[in-house]
C-alpha cells in the first residue's frame, strides 16, 4: 500500500507497522506530528498503543525506557532542545541499554524556523555513543522507524533517528510494509541491567564501549549507506541525510564524482577510507553542525577536506540546492534579488488572544510604577510579547527559565522581578523553580498566562489543565497570593489593581489570567458540531 506522508508521519507509520507498543513525547516543532499521527491512527487506537502526551521530554523518555524494560518496543520523540531536558535519561539509557527496541526520534531545526538554537543531535548521539539513523527521504524515514526497533534489539542499545525540519515537514509517497506484531511482555534476562550502581554501571559501560566496533561494522554494510561510483575523482562527496537530494538536484543525469551517502552512524570507516584514497579532495555536505567534516579534518586541519568549516558552505543554517551548487562551482539561476518593498512578516498573537490582555495591563503597570527590564519570560505563543507593539518581555531562554531567572535577579536585588510563563511550560519545568522561590520566599511575581492549551505547537492538551492553583498551593505558595483573573478588555482595571498589589508584596505571588486559546476554542466548537451530526 502507498500513502502520501510528511517525513514525521512516515516515522509514525513506520513505528506503528514495526510493532511499537507506545510512543512517549512532549510537543515541539518539528517533531509534534509524529505523536499526533499515532494519536489519530485507527490501528493504533484499536491496539491501544500508548500515545498520550507526557509532561516534558524527560518524563517521556523515562516512561519509554520503562516500556522497553518490559520487552516491548517503544519510541520517544522530541525536538532537538527537548533532548537537553531528557539528557540525563538519554546519557544513562545508553549505559543500561534496552530490552525491547527503543527508538529516540529527535527533530533538529537548522535555520531556527521555530527554535532557540540549531544544535545538532548527532553530537548528542556521539556523546551517548549510540547508533544514529538519518533518513534522506520520506521512504527511508518510514523504513528506519520500521527496522530501527530490530537494530536496537540486536545491539541492546537505544537508537536515534535524527531528522531536520525540511524532511519533517515535506510530503511524498511512501510504500508501506506488512504490520509486525507487538513484542510479548518479557523482563530483562539480566536482573541488574537497569541498576546503575557504580559497580554495575562500570560493567555496563564497558559493554557499551565494546559494542562500538560492531556499530561501525553495521554501518559499513548498512543498506542506508551507499558508495556510488563516479569517474571524476578530482572530488569525492560525502552526503549525509537529506543533503544527498540537494546534490542530485544539481546533477539530474548522475553525479560525475564518487559519492558516499551516509544515513547510518557511526561513520562507515572503510567506505570513508575508500573515498579518501580514491579522490583528491573531499567535500562534506551535512545538515547542521560540521560534525563529519570536523571529524575528517581533524585537529591538524587536513586541507583537502572542505564544507562548512572552510566557507565552501555557510557555517550555520539549513542547506538548499543553491548553496550546494555553489560549493560544487556549478552555475545557478539564483540571480534576482528580493524587492526592497518586501517587509518581514513575523508571527503575531491572534486577534482576541488572552496573552494580549495580559501584556497590555502588565505594560501599563510597569510604565506607571517601575523601571523597565524586569520581565523574565519563557517559551510559547506569549513569547511574541517580545515583538512590537508590546516589547513586553526581556528574556526567553529555555522552558521554565522565567521563574528561576526572575528568582536569581530578585536575589541580586532586582525587585520586583516578574515571570511570565504559559500553562504548559509551567508544568513542563516551572514547578521545581517555583519550589526554589517558595523555599527562599523570593520577592517575585509569577504570571501563569493560562490559555488551557499548548498553543504554540498547535493546541495540544496541557498537562496543567485544571490543576494550576492546587499545584501552586501544594508547592507552598500562600493561597492569599494565588489570584485567578479573567483577561478580557472589560477587566483591565481589576487586573491592573491585582497586579500592582502582588508586585508590592514581598514574597512569592502567582497570578493566573485564564481564558482558553481562541484557536483551540474555535476547534472545540467545530469538533462539537461535527460530533453532533
Partner 1 sequence: MKTNIILAGVGGQGILSIATSIGMAALKNKMYLKQAETHGMSQRGGDVFSHLRISDKPIYSDLIPKGKADLIIAVEPMEALRYVPYLSETGYLVTNTKPFKNIPNYPEVEKVLNQLKKLSNVIMLDADAIAAEIKSKRSMNMVMLGASSPFLNGITYKILQEGIKDIFGKKGEDIVNKNLEALACGKAEADKIITKK
Q: Min. distance of Cβ 342 from ligand TPP in angstroms?
A: 27
* 423 belongs to the binding site for ligand TPP (CB under 6 A): yes
- Residue 235 pairs in a beta bridge with 281
Q: Min. distance of Cβ 528 from ligand TPP in angstroms?
A: 21
By CB under 8 A, name the one of 1, 300, 341, 532 that touches partner 1: 341
The contacts found for 197-200 with CB under 8 angstroms, 24 or more apart, are none
User: Residue 425: which of ligand TPP, partner 1, none does it interact with, CB under 5 to 8 A by kind?
Assistant: ligand TPP
d(CA 239, CA 321): 13
Q: Is 216 helix (H, G, I), strand (E, B) or coil?
A: helix
Candidates 135-143, 235-243, 374-382, 482-490: pick the segment binding ligand TPP (CB under 6 A): 374-382
Q: Is 215 helix (H, G, I), strand (E, B) or coil?
A: helix
Say how many residues touch partner 1, by CB under 8 A: 50
User: Residue 85: which of ligand TPP, partner 1, none does it interact with, CB under 5 to 8 A by kind?
Assistant: ligand TPP
* 166 belongs to the binding site for partner 1 (CB under 8 A): yes
User: Residue 218: which of ligand TPP, partner 1, none does it interact with, CB under 5 to 8 A by kind?
Assistant: none
Q: Nearer Cβ to partner 1, position 64 or 107?
A: 107
The residues in 446-505 that bind ligand TPP, with binding defined as CB under 6 A, are 451, 453-457, 462
By CB under 6 A, name the one of 14, 18, 22, 82 that touches ligand TPP: 82
User: Contact, 401 vs 421, CB < 8 A?
Assistant: no
Closest by CA position to 431, among listed 59, 51, 87: 59
Candidates 11-19, 240-248, 259-267, 439-447: pick the segment binding partner 1 (CB under 8 A): 240-248
* 381 belongs to the binding site for ligand TPP (CB under 6 A): yes
Over the window 7 to 46, marking each residue x when it contacts ligand TPP by CB under 6 A and - when it does not, the resulting string is -------------------xxx------------------
* 119 belongs to the binding site for ligand TPP (CB under 6 A): no
Starting at the edge strand found earlier in the chain, the sheet holding 482-485 runs 375-376, 417-422, 444-449, 509-513, 482-485
Closest by CA position to 76, among listed 109, 95, 98: 98
Q: Min. distance of Cβ 456 from ligand TPP in angstroms?
A: 3
Candidates 116-124, 144-152, 304-312, 344-352: pick the segment binding partner 1 (CB under 8 A): 344-352
By CB under 8 A, name the one of 52, 348, 486, 525 that touches partner 1: 348
* 349 belongs to the binding site for partner 1 (CB under 8 A): yes
* 314 belongs to the binding site for partner 1 (CB under 8 A): no
Q: How far is CA 225 from CA 133, 241, 288, 435, 487, in A?
A: 10, 10, 19, 49, 55
The residues in 241-260 that bind partner 1, with binding defined as CB under 8 A, are 242, 244-246, 248-249
Say how many residues touch ligand TPP, by CB under 6 A: 24
User: Contact, 356 vs 385, CB < 8 A?
Assistant: no
Starting at the edge strand found earlier in the chain, the sheet holding 159-164 runs 20-25, 73-79, 102-108, 159-164, 132-133, 264-265
Q: Is 217 helix (H, G, I), strand (E, B) or coil?
A: helix
* 424 belongs to the binding site for ligand TPP (CB under 6 A): yes
Q: How far is CA 206 from CA 97, 200, 201, 266, in A?
A: 12, 10, 8, 18
Q: Nearer Cβ to partner 1, position 3 or 126?
A: 3
Closest by CA position to 225, among listed 296, 137, 121, 133: 133
DSSP 459-475: -BPPTTTTTHHHHHHHH
Neighbours of 83 (CB within 10 A): 27
Torsion, Cα of 17, 19, 22, 25 (10° steps): -50
Over the window 399 to 438, marking each residue x when it contacts partner 1 by CB under 8 A and - when it does not, the resulting string is ----------------------------------------
d(CA 92, CA 205): 10
Q: Are strands 264-265 and 132-133 parallel, antiparallel or unpaired?
A: antiparallel
User: Residue 39: which of ligand TPP, partner 1, none does it interact with, CB under 5 to 8 A by kind?
Assistant: none
Q: Which three cell numbers stand for residue 238?
A: 560525502
Closest by CA position to 287, among listed 490, 136, 66: 136
User: Residue 150: which of partner 1, ligand TPP, none does it interact with, CB under 5 to 8 A by kind?
Assistant: none
By CB under 8 A, name the one of 14, 19, 22, 30 that touches partner 1: 30
The residues in 467-496 that bind partner 1, with binding defined as CB under 8 A, are none
By CB under 8 A, name the one of 33, 120, 140, 143 that touches partner 1: 33
Q: Min. distance of Cβ 96 from ligand TPP in angstroms?
A: 23
User: Contact, 34 vs 24, CB < 8 A?
Assistant: no
d(CA 215, CA 155): 8
Burial 385-422 (b: 16+ CB within 10 A, else e): bbeeebebbbbbebbbbbbbbbbbbbeeebebbbbbbb
Name the site residues for partner 1 (rule: CB under 8 A).
4, 6, 29-30, 33, 113-114, 165-173, 242, 244-246, 248-249, 320-322, 325, 332-339, 341-350, 381, 384, 388-389, 456-457
Name the site residues for ligand TPP (rule: CB under 6 A).
26-28, 57, 79, 81-82, 85, 379-382, 399, 422-425, 451, 453-457, 462
Amino acid at each position: 500500500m502507498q500513502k502520501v506522508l510528511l517525513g514525521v508521519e512516515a516515522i509514525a507509520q513506520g513505528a506503528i507497522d514495526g510493532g511499537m507498543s507506545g510512543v512517549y513525547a512532549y510537543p515541539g516543532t518539528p517533531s509534534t506530528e509524529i505523536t499526533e499521527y499515532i494519536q489519530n491512527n485507527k490501528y493504533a487506537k484499536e491496539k491501544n498503543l500508548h500515545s498520550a502526551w507526557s509532561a516534558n521530554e524527560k518524563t517521556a523518555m523515562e516512561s519509554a525506557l520503562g516500556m522497553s524494560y518490559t520487552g516491548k518496543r517503544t519510541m520517544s520523540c522530541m525536538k532537538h532542545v527537548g533532548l537537553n531536558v531528557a539528557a540525563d535519561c538519554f546519557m544513562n539509557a545508553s549505559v543500561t541499554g534496552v530490552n525491547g527496541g527503543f527508538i529516540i526520534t529527535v527533530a533538529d531545526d537548522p535555520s531556527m524556523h521555530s527554535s532557540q538554537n540549531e544544535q545538532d543531535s548527532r553530537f548528542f548521539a556521539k556523546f551517548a555513543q549510540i547508533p544514529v539513523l538519518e533518513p534522506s527521504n520520506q521512504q527511508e524515514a518510514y523504513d528506519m522507524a520500521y527496522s530501527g526497533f530490530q537494530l536496537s534489539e540486536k545491539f541492546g542499545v537505544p537508537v536515534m533517528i535524527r531528522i531536520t525540519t525540511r524532511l519533517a515537514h515535506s510530503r511524498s509517497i511512501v510504500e508501506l510494509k506488512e504490520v509486525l506484531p507487538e513484542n510479548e511482555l518479557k523482563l530483562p534476562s539480566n536482573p541488574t541491567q537497569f541498576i546503575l550502581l557504580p559497580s554495575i554501571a562500570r560493567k555496563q559501560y564497558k559493554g557499551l564501549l565494546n559494542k562500538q566496533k560492531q556499530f561501525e561494522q553495521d554501518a559499513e554494510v548498512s543498506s542506508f549507506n551507499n558508495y556510488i561510483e563516479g569517474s571524476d575523482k578530482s572530488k569525492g562527496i560525502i552526503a549525509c541525510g537529506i543533503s544527498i537530494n540537494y546534490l542530485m538536484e544539481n546533477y539530474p543525469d548522475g553525479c560525475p564524482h564518487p559519492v558516499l551517502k551516509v544515513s547510518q552512524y557511526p561513520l562507515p570507516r572503510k567506505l570513508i577510507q575508500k573515498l579518501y584514497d580514491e579522490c583528491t579532495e573531499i567535500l562534506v555536505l551535512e545538515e547542521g553542525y560540521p560534525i563529519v567534516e570536523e571529524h575528517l579534518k581533524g585537529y591538524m586541519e587536513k586541507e583537502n577536506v572542505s564544507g562548512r568549516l572552510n566557507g565552501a558552505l555557510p557555517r550555520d543554517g539549513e542547506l538548499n540546492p543553491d548553496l550546494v551548487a555553489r560549493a560544487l562551482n556549478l552555475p545557478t539561476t539564483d540571480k534576482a534579488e528580493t524587492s526592497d518593498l518586501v517587509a518581514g512578516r513575523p508571527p503575531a498573537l491572534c486577534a482576541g488572544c488572552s496573552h494580549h490582555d495580559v501584556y497590555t495591563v502588565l505594560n501599563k503597570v510597569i510604565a506607571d510604577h517601575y523601571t523597565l527590564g524586569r520581565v523574565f519570560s519563557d517559551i510559547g505563543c506569549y513569547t511574541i510579547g517580545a515583538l512590537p507593539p508590546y516589547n513586553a518581555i526581556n528574556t526567553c531562554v529555555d522552558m521554565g527559565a522565567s521563574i528561576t531567572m526572575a528568582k536569581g535577579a530578585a536575589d541580586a536585588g532586582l525587585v520586583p522581578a516578574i515571570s511570565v510563563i504559559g500553562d504548559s511550560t509551567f508544568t513542563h519545568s516551572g514547578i521545581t523553580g517555583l519550589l526554589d522561590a517558595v523555599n527562599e520566599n523570593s520577592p517575585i511575581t509569577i504570571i501563569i498566562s493560562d490559555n488551557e492549551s499548548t498553543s504554540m505547537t498547535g493546541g495540544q492538551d496541557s498537562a496543567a489543565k485544571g490543576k494550576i492553583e492546587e499545584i501552586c498551593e501544594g508547592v507552598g505558595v500562600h493561597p492569599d497570593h494565588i489570584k485567578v483573573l479573567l483577561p478580557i478588555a472589560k477587566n483591565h482595571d481589576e487586573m491592573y489593581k491585582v497586579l500592582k498589589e502582588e508586585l508590592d508584596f514581598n514574597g512569592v505571588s502567582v497570578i493566573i489570567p485564564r481564558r482558553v486559546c481562541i484557536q483551540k476554542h474555535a476547534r472545540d466548537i467545530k469538533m462539537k458540531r461535527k460530533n453532533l451530526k
